[in-house]
Amino acid sequence: MFVIVGLGNPGKKYEKTRHNMGFLAIDKLAEKHDIKVNKLKHKALVGDGFISGRKALLVKPQTYMNLSGESVREIISYYDIDLEDLIVIYDDFDLETGAIRIRKKGSAGSHNGMKSIIGQIQSKDFPRIRIGIGKSGGGAEWKDFVLGKTSKQDEKLIEDAVERTADAVGCILEKGIDKAMNEYNVKPGLSGRE
C-alpha cells in the first residue's frame, strides 16, 4: 500500500492558504479517484482506495503543520509501510508559483512540516512532491506569506499545479518515480509529455 500525505493546517481559517497545497492535492486525488477522506485516525483525516490500480491511503494530518510528523509516524508504524511507499506533498516558497518538483529524498529545507516528519520517522529517504508558491517578494514576513491566501492572479497556476501533482502521484504509482520525475519536473505552462 502507498501512503500519500498532504501537508496543511486544519480549519476554515487556513483553507485556501499557500501553506495548504498538500491538502488541496489530497482533495484533488480524492475527487479524481472517488476516495472519501473522512475517517479520523492517527491524528489525521484518512481515506483509502485505488490509484492507478494500486492500493493507496490518502492522509491529511490534523495536528497543525509543525506536528505533522506525529501523524505520519503513527501511520507508518501501524501499516508497517516501507518509506519508498510514502509520498509527502507540500508547499515550497523557493519554487516559482505553479512549479512542481518530485524528489526521491532530501532535507526538509525551511519547511516545518517536513522537519517534523523527518524528526519523527528519523529518515529523509522518502519521496516528496513540492508545489511552488513563489517568494513573498520581501514585503511580507514569510510566515504571513505562507499563511496568506493565494492571490487572484496565482489561482490558475495553483489549480494547474494541484492537477499536475495529482497526475504525478498516479504516474509514480503506475510507472515509478523516475518516470514521474522526467514527466513532471518541468516549468509551469510547459509539458514534458509529447
Q: Which residues are the active-site residues? A: 19
Task: At 79, list the grid cell.
Answer: 501499516
Task: At 144, list the grid cell.
Answer: 504571513
**Strand 39-41 relative to strand 2-6: parallel, antiparallel, unpaired?**
unpaired
Side chain identity at residue 96, one-letter code: E
What would the DSSP string read from start to end of 72-98? HHHHHHHHT--GGGEEEEEEETTS-TT
As a residue count, the chain comes to 194
122 contact partners, CB below 8 Å, separation of at least 6? none
Q: Could you give the CA distance from residue 160 to residue 155 in angstroms, rounded to a whole number?
A: 9
CA distances in angstroms from 85 to 57, 59, 128, listed in the order given: 10, 13, 11
Q: Could you give the CA distance from residue 180 to residue 168 in angstroms, rounded to a whole number?
A: 6
